[in-house]
């Protein structure tokens, strides 16, 4: 008997038994009833959330923010009363606890007492986050617990938006103060820039003056050095002639003593004429020699007188020169004391003050930059605001420029250089080699000594002139008298006739000679004393000029150091001027930009509190919630319907029937019923329940194909008897949570994801989903290909069961019921 004839015979017997036929028809209606009931509702699980009772307890006591009262808890309650997200009930803490214990409330939300107080700490050093306490009774319903938890998240976001809106409003209000602060800083920096410009002009003038006078200072140092050399030569020359002058003084003293003795001898021997004759010859010879010597020295005495006169004529010019040098040095000393020293002190103090104010400004800018950075960290949404980020970037740039260590070091070096310059022009109790003021003071003291020495020399030179003139006159007189003496002695030698007259004349001449010798001795003594005074004065002049030369050299070196220092000061002042100009410009721009920010309106505040708006688009949207569960319901209905129908068909193979024929007949029996149930279910779903699908014919074909695949699966388990049906039922239970029915397969643990790949519901659900909600016929066909493998595999296994299972004896009249 072939499979078709056996199939027709089995169907005829089924139709002949009304009770069995009714059972089969009832089984056919099981998927229709199951699917119709589960897919008929058009409401979703979130349509009636306002019926879900949730208790709200407000304990917030309120607070003060900027002297204005706030009550965030009260505002929150007012907002909740306006909406119907959940079934809000506003009760006391005791009522909420009782309702939670009596299972009345699914959740209790409690607003604590310090809720508003914590809002006021947002901008403090230790801000406290707001805590909104909620208690869930998850045991009442898991889905309700998820819904209420989602509602608390939305509530938290809404509170965050309100708090952000409030502080955005405060921030915009405070931007006016920030702008005023920037403007004040810009005005101060503009004044600083003006002061720096004046300082730069002053240093330029000072540098130009120092540079212009550098050549004169060098000439002064060179002239003082040459003057020192000339005075040194004069002192050496005077010192070298001192022994000759001393010899001249000693000789004239001896001459005076000799003429005195001569006069005394003549006077004592006036009565001894005889002896006079003999002595006159000797005297005549001596006076001849004396006369010759006096005539030989007469030109030197004349030169001495001429030199003394020349020295006297030059002294006034020397006095004018030393007095001029002293006056110039005193002028420099006065300028240093009254103008340069106070000016350098003011420059030093000004530069130090600029350094301090620059450091203070840098610290203030650091505080402002740090505050802006902290505010940005607390409100990261501001990073998307170009205006605020420009303010923040400007603040960072200004802070970096004002706190640049290299500029601070240069400013400190400028301050130290200005202090050194001020020190160089400050007089000290003990002279300092590095002090220009001390060097000039020493120059003034030395030049004063020189000027006094020249004055003393000027006073002594007339005496020297008088002495030399007296020497010259006395010398000439002495030459004449000695000539007369020589003539007298000649007359004495010639005869005694005029002895009395000659002796008287001799005595008179000797007396005159003695007087002249005394004058010569006195003049020579004066000459020696004057010469010594002149040598001493020249030595003092030499010493003073040494001090003048050294002082001028110190002045020249100090002037060069001063010029170099002022050059550095000028460069530093220029850089400081440029930096203060940049600072002034930056602060002014910051003030203009912050001042340009307008007060925030409601739209601005809304933008700050909730800057991101979700714009959603949905593809393959479920028209109704039931459409999301339809693939699972259809798969389960078809499988369960076939499993129930298998209970009314006899699957025990008779001995005389081959395994292939028996399998073919039973597959056609059960498959025919499966096709009928698939068509009935598709008709109800598409026409009565009006489930939408882009390809209705594809939906019907896929339902029929899935029923046939499930037929092959159930046929295998039914061929094993009731044990096999129990295994099939267990297979249904296994697939409820592992095939994408309740959760997406991607959300399952790894072991369950691996298991889902081997379960037929995975592909039937995916195929129905592709046709109902995704509109993808190709995806449905790909799942049909995998299900076809299940059909072939389970069919082969069923044939194997019939081949290798020993058939039981059956009555000859075959019965469909097992």
DSSP letter assigned to residue 693: -
Mean pLDDT rounded to a whole number for the chain: 77
pLDDT over 90, % of the chain: 5
Dihedral Cα 231, 237, 242, 244, nearest 10 deg: -160
Q: What is the pLDDT of residue 815?
A: 41
Asked whether the beta carbons of 471 and 523 are under 8 A apart, the reply is yes
Residue 799: phi and psi, rounded to 5, are: -60, -40
What confidence category does residue 543 fall into, taking pLDDT thresholds of 50, 70 and 90? Answer: confident
Over residues 191-214, the pLDDT tens digits come to 767 877 877 787 888 778 778 877
Q: What is the pLDDT of residue 363?
A: 83
Over residues 127-180, the pLDDT tens digits come to 888 788 888 877 766 666 666 777 777 777 777 776 776 666 666 655 555 566
Residue 9: pLDDT over 50: yes
More confident residue, 704 or 326: 704
Token duo for residue 24: 């089969």
DSSP letter assigned to residue 430: S
Q: What is the pLDDT of residue 550?
A: 79
Residue 275: pLDDT over 90: no
Residue 61: pLDDT over 90: no
Alpha carbon separation from 517 to 76, 259, 296, 482 (Å, rounded): 137, 7, 17, 11
What is the full DSSP assignment across 533-557?
HHHHHHHHHHHHHHHHHHHHHHHHH
Beta-carbon-side half-sphere exposure of residue 400 (alpha carbons within 13 Å): 6
Q: Which residues contact 785 (CB under 8 A, 6 or more apart)?
A: none
Residue 548: pLDDT over 90: no
Query: Which bin fits 620, alpha (ψ -120 to 50), beta or left (φ > 0)?
Result: left
Residue 622: phi and psi, rounded to 5, are: -75, 120
Q: What is the pLDDT of residue 540?
A: 79
SS3 assignment, position 772: helix
Q: Select the highest-mean-pLDDT range: 446-460, 700-714, 728-742.
A: 700-714
DSSP letter assigned to residue 623: S
Over residues 281-315, the pLDDT tens digits come to 776 787 788 788 778 877 887 887 788 788 778 88
Asked whether the beta carbons of 450 and 540 are under 8 A apart, the reply is yes
DSSP letter assigned to residue 107: E
Residues 306, 468: Cα–Cα separation, whole Å: 8
Q: How far is CA 524 from the centre of its chain?
A: 89
Residue 814: pLDDT over 50: no
Q: Which residues contact 781 (CB under 8 A, 6 or more apart)?
A: none
Residue that the structure tokens 């921030």 belong to: 171
Residue 241: pLDDT over 90: no
Residue 775: pLDDT over 70: yes
What confidence category does residue 216 fall into, taking pLDDT thresholds of 50, 70 and 90? Answer: confident
Q: Which residues contact 477 (CB under 8 A, 6 or more apart)?
A: 512, 516
pTM (two decimals): 0.43
Asked whether the beta carbons of 173 and 599 are under 8 A apart, the reply is yes
Section 74-93 average pLDDT:
82
Q: What is the pLDDT of residue 816?
A: 40
Residue 346: pLDDT over 60: yes
What confidence category does residue 710 fall into, taking pLDDT thresholds of 50, 70 and 90? Answer: very high
Residue that the structure tokens 């193979």 belong to: 653
Residue 441: pLDDT over 90: no
Q: What is the pLDDT of residue 742?
A: 64
Q: What domains can you pick out in the chain, each with its CATH number?
A: 3-44+627-804 (no CATH), 49-177 (3.40.1710.10), 185-570+578-596 (no CATH)
Q: What is the pLDDT of residue 707?
A: 92
Closest alpha carbon to 567 in 210, 209, 207, 195: 207
- Please calculate the CA angle 182-185-187 and round it to the nearest 5 degrees: 110
Q: How far is CA 176 from the centre of its chain?
A: 25
Q: What is the pLDDT of residue 811?
A: 43
Asked whether the beta carbons of 30 and 641 are under 8 A apart, the reply is yes
Over residues 561-611, the pLDDT tens digits come to 778 877 887 787 777 777 767 776 776 776 666 665 555 566 655 565 555
Residue 817: pLDDT over 50: no
SS3 assignment, position 132: coil
SS3 assignment, position 83: coil
DSSP letter assigned to residue 720: T
Residue 89: pLDDT over 80: yes
Give the pairing of strands 68-70 and 63-65. antiparallel
Q: What is the pLDDT of residue 155?
A: 74
Asked whether the beta carbons of 93 and 108 are under 8 A apart, the reply is no
């Amino acid at each position: 008997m072939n499979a078709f004839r056996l199939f027709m015979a089995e169907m005829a017997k089924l139709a002949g038994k009304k009770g069995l036929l009714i059972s089969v028809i009832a089984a056919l209606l099981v998927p229709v009833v199951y699917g119709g009931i589960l897919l008929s509702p058009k409401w979703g699980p979130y349509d009636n959330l306002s019926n879900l009772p949730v208790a709200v307890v407000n304990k917030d006591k309120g607070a003060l923010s900027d002297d204005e009262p706030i009550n965030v808890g009260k505002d929150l309650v007012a907002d909740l009363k306006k909406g119907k997200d959940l079934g809000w009930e506003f009760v006391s803490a005791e009522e909420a606890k009782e309702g939670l214990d009596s299972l009345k409330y699914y959740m209790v939300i409690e607003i604590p007492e310090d809720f508003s107080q914590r809002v006021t700490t947002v901008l403090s050093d230790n801000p406290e986050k707001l805590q909104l306490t909620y208690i869930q009774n998850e045991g009442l319903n898991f889905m309700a617990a998820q819904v209420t938890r989602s509602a608390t998240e939305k509530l938290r976001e809404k509170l965050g938006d309100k708090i952000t809106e409030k502080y955005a409003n405060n921030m915009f209000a405070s931007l006016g103060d920030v702008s005023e602060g920037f403007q004040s800083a810009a005005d101060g920096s503009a004044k600083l820039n003006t002061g720096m410009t004046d300082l730069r002009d002053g240093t330029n003038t000072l540098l130009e003056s120092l540079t212009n006078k550098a050549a004169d200072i060098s000439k002064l140092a060179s002239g003082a050095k040459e003057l020192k050399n000339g005075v040194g030569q004069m002192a050496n020359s005077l010192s070298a002639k001192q022994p000759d002058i001393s010899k001249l003084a000693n000789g004239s003293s001896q001459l005076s003593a000799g003429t005195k003795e001569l006069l005394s001898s003549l006077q004592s021997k006036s009565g001894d004429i005889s002896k006079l004759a003999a002595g006159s010859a000797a005297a005549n010879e001596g006076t001849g020699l004396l006369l010759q010597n006096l005539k030989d020295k007469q030109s030197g005495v004349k030169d001495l007188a001429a030199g003394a006169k020349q020295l006297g004529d030059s002294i006034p010019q020397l006095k004018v020169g030393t007095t001029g040098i002293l006056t110039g040095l005193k002028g420099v000393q006065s300028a240093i004391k009254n103008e340069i020293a106070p000016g350098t002190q003011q420059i030093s103090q000004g530069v130090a003050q600029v350094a301090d104010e620059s450091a203070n400004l840098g610290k203030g800018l650091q505080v402002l930059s740090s505050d802006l950075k902290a505010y940005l960290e607390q409100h990261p949404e501001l990073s998307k605001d170009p205006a605020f980020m420009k303010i923040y970037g400007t603040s960072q740039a200004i802070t970096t420029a004002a706190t640049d260590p290299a500029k601070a070091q240069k400013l400190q070096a400028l301050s130290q250089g200005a202090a050194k310059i001020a020190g160089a022009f400050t007089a000290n109790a003990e002279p300092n080699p590095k002090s220009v003021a001390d060097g000039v003071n020493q120059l003034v003291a030395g030049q004063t000594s020189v000027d006094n020495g020249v004055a003393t020399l000027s006073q002594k030179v007339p005496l020297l002139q008088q002495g030399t003139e007296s020497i010259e006159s006395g010398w000439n007189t002495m030459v004449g008298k000695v000539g007369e003496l020589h003539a007298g002695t000649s007359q004495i030698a010639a005869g005694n006739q005029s002895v009395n007259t000659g002796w008287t004349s001799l005595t008179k001449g000797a007396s005159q000679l003695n007087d002249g010798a005394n004058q010569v001795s006195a003049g020579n003594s004066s000459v020696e004393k004057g010469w010594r005074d002149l040598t001493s004065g020249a030595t003092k002049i030499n010493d003073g000029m040494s001090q003048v030369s050294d002082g001028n050299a110190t002045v020249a070196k100090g002037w060069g150091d001063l010029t170099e220092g002022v050059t550095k000061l000028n460069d530093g002042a220029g850089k400081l001027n440029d930096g203060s100009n940049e600072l002034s410009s930056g602060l002014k721009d910051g003030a203009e930009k912050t001042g340009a920010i307008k007060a925030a309106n409601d739209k601005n505040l809304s933008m700050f509190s909730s800057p991101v708006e979700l714009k959603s688009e949905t593809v393959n949207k479920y028209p109704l919630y039931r459409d999301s569960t339809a693939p699972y319901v259809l798969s389960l209905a078809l499988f369960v319907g076939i499993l129930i129908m298998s209970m009314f068909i006899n699957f025990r193979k008779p001995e005389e029937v081959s395994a292939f024929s028996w399998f073919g007949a039973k597959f056609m029996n059960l498959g025919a019923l499966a096709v009928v149930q698939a068509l009935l279910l598709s008709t109800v779903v598409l026409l009565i329940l009006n489930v939408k699908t882009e390809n209705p014919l594809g939906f019907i074909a896929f339902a029929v194909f899935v029923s046939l695949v499930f037929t092959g699966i159930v046929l295998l388990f039914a061929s094993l008897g009731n044990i096999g049906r129990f295994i099939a039922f267990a297979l249904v239970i296994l697939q409820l949570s592992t095939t994408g029915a309740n959760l997406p397969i991607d959300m399952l643990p790894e072991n369950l994801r691996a298991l889902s790949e081997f379960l037929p519901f995975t592909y039937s659900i995916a195929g129905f989903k592709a046709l109902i909600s995704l509109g993808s016929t190709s995806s449905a066909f790909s799942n049909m290909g995998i299900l076809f493998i299940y059909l072939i595999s389970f069919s082969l296994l069923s044939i194997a069961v019939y081949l290798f299972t020993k058939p039981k004896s059956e009555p000859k009249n075959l019965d469909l019921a097992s």
